[in-house]
Amino acid sequence: MTISQQGFQELQAIYPCARILKESNCCYIYFSEMNISSDGKVVKVEALLDCTNKDTKLYLGTRFPNKGQNWTEHAIIGKKWHTFSYSGVSNRLRLIDILADHLRVLE
């Protein structure tokens, strides 16, 4: 699975810090700084969007224990990440929609 150039540019328009990183056969989009509003506060976190698998996944630098469920810890690209149980966001969607869908859980 390769990341569509057009989709990535759309994402970069909102997050200029977005950068593609690869590991093994997986392709990730890394955001060095993403503003996430949770519980009325805006928190800056690092984020990693895995859009290689059919079921996409959003990994975050910190946990939001009051949001999402079944948080798990992972080591990807030499760094520790946290993610919540949320499946069904297909990688066939536009990248921007994939990201929005995952972020909705944290609202």
Give the Cα separation of 32 and 47 in Å (integer): 7
- The residue from 4, 14, 22, 100 that contacts another protein (CB under 8 A) is 22
Cβ distance 83 to 60 under 8 Å?
A: yes
92 binds another protein (CB under 8 A): no
Cβ distance 75 to 81 under 8 Å?
A: yes
* Identity of the residue, 22 or 94, whose beta carbon is nearer to another protein in the bound complex: 22
At 52, list the tokens: 């290689």
- The residue from 4, 37, 53, 62 that contacts another protein (CB under 8 A) is 53
Residues in contact with another protein by CB under 8 A are 21-25, 30, 53, 55, 70, 72-81, 85
